[in-house]
């Protein structure tokens, strides 16, 4: 009984956070129930969202992150880009998605395991365009668990969390 109440409360909290973070207003109708996404569709979403994130870091412009990020992902990435801007730096990286698998999928949540690698990854001085810190952290193979939540008001999927493995 308590577990069911906690799940219901979390559902409300996540729904409210998604609405607030994604700029949604109060909508009288919820979006229709989502169809399950295929691995190919989730991979395309990961690649799209990663590309947009790369562009935001490279330009130092977090203004469009709320179009595809919500909750902790939105807050953390916005704060990081703003800190880098205060330091007159941008993070320039290019990422290639190697593998995506869906570990769980519900109507409004997808959890995916992702393996990827960066082909380059450096912090760049915005005044000189030169890499700082010897070009580190540099290329890296990575594994993450990514969390995507569907906004029940507009039906859009938002990247809401990531855990490095």
pLDDT tens-digit series, residues 99-138: 999 999 999 999 999 999 999 999 999 999 999 988 889 9
In this predicted structure, what is the pLDDT of residue 29? 62
Q: Which domains does the chain have, with CATH numbers?
A: 2-25+37-164 (3.10.450.240)
pTM of the model: 0.79
Mean pLDDT confidence for 46-68: 98
Which of 149, 47, 147, 158 has its CA nearest to residue 102?
147
Please give the residue that has the higher pLDDT: either 39 or 20: 39
Note whether 18 and 10 are within 8 A (CB). no
């Amino acid at each position: 009984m308590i577990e069911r109440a906690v799940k219901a409360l979390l559902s409300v909290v996540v729904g409210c956070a998604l609405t607030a973070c994604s700029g949604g207003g109060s909508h009288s109708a919820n979006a229709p129930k989502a169809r399950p996404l295929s691995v190919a569709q989730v991979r395309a979403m990961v690649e799209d969202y990663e590309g947009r994130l790369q562009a935001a870091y490279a330009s130092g412009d977090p203004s469009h992150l709320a179009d595809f990020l919500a909750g902790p992902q939105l807050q953390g990435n916005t704060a990081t880009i703003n800190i880098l801007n205060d330091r007159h730096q941008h993070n320039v990286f290019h990422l290639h998605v190697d593998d995506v698998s869906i570990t769980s999928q519900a109507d409004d949540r997808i959890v995916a395991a992702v393996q990827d690698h960066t082909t380059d990854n450096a912090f760049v001085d915005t005044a000189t365009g030169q890499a700082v810190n010897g070009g580190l952290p540099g290329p890296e193979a990575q594994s993450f668990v990514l969390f995507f939540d569907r906004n029940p008001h507009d039906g859009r999927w938002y990247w809401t969390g990531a855990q490095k493995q």
